[in-house]
Amino acid sequence: MERGFVTIATGNESYYKMAYHLLQSFRLFHPETPFAILCDRKNEYTEAFTDTVILEDAAFSYVDKFRILLDCPYEENIFIEPDCLVYHSLDFFWDLLSKQYDFTSFGWNDGKMVFFSDPAYAASKFLGQADAVTPIFNPGYMFIRNGNICRAIYNDAMRIIAEIKEDDRLNQDPRLLCKGAIRDDPVFFIAMALNGCLCTATPDEGKCISLPSVSKIYKISLSKGILDVHSHTRMEGCSILHFSSRRVNEEGLYLQQITVLELLRKHRYGLLVLFAESKLFYLILNIYKKITVRLKQLKRS
């Protein structure tokens, strides 16, 4: 059985850059493991991946993400969003996620319809009863086993999106929309529930950290494979840091980490990497970004 990891990038070059940085961090711990990219074109970034899958009819929107249910190249796949970096071997993901369901993730199975202003209406419409629940998880990392179930989840997801757009009670719902686009999270949750799939491990087991939920970073080092944070509770040895931001390329922490990655890629170690991973360098980058952003604002005005 062929297994591998997958990410996706379509449209703007910045997504390709993030996907490449994700791959760089992954290679620190998995030098040979297959890692594919689903994308709309080949370029200098896709050359680094084990396999490149071209989406000929890419939508250049959140809808492309659902294509992982159809077009992942391996029999068993673990998807990671491009705005993530890896700090630990992910081999243990297979044991946690590949046990029972063809589609699963790290999460819980008693989720309410929190992405809808009228949860009872949404539950009745899509699941047949007002108090129905769904799995709930961060769709930044998911397990996909190619086959009929994932195709069915994809078809249900496309139907759900179409029904939301046609429903005046939903298509302007501020909880459901993000900058005018339907959130992918609840669509995944509902389609997953309709096809009898559940989450098979809790987020703490996967140790995948979403940066907005992190209140403190105790230690972070790509060169040493360390990520210790406080996210509700203290967590040591975290595996993935999910930046989860539309402006990830402007964040000081992200810029610091990709600087370290580039040094490691060029086999620059010692004091140079030590400085790049220091708080001082992080502060310098933050100041630099604030100045450049402000100068751009002044130029536009």
Give tens-digit pLDDT for 47-105. 999 999 999 999 999 999 999 999 999 999 999 999 999 999 999 999 999 999 999 99
The answer to whether 106 touches 96, Cβ cutoff 8 Å, is yes
Counting other chains too, the contacts that 119-127 makes at CB distance below 8 Å and 24 or more residues apart are 121/169, 122/170, 122/186, 125/163, 125/167, 126/160, 126/163, 126/190, 126/194, 127/190, 127/193, 127/194
213: three-class secondary structure by DSSP: helix
Residue in 208, 197, 191, 188 with CA at minimum distance from that of residue 65 = 188
Residue 171 is predicted with a pLDDT of 96
Reference 23, options 265, 217, 283; nearest CA is 265
Structural domains of the chain sorted by starting position, each given as residue range(s) with its CATH number in brackets:
3-204 (3.90.550.10), 207-300 (no CATH)
CA angle 48, 31, 264 (to 5 degrees): 75
pLDDT band at residue 246 under the 50/70/90 scheme: low
Residue with tokens 């062929």: 2
Pairing label, strands 177-178, 134-145:
unpaired
Cα-Cα end-to-end distance for the chain:
57
214-219 — which CB contacts under 8 Å span 24+ positions?
Answer: 217/253
| pTM of the predicted structure, to 2 decimals | 0.94
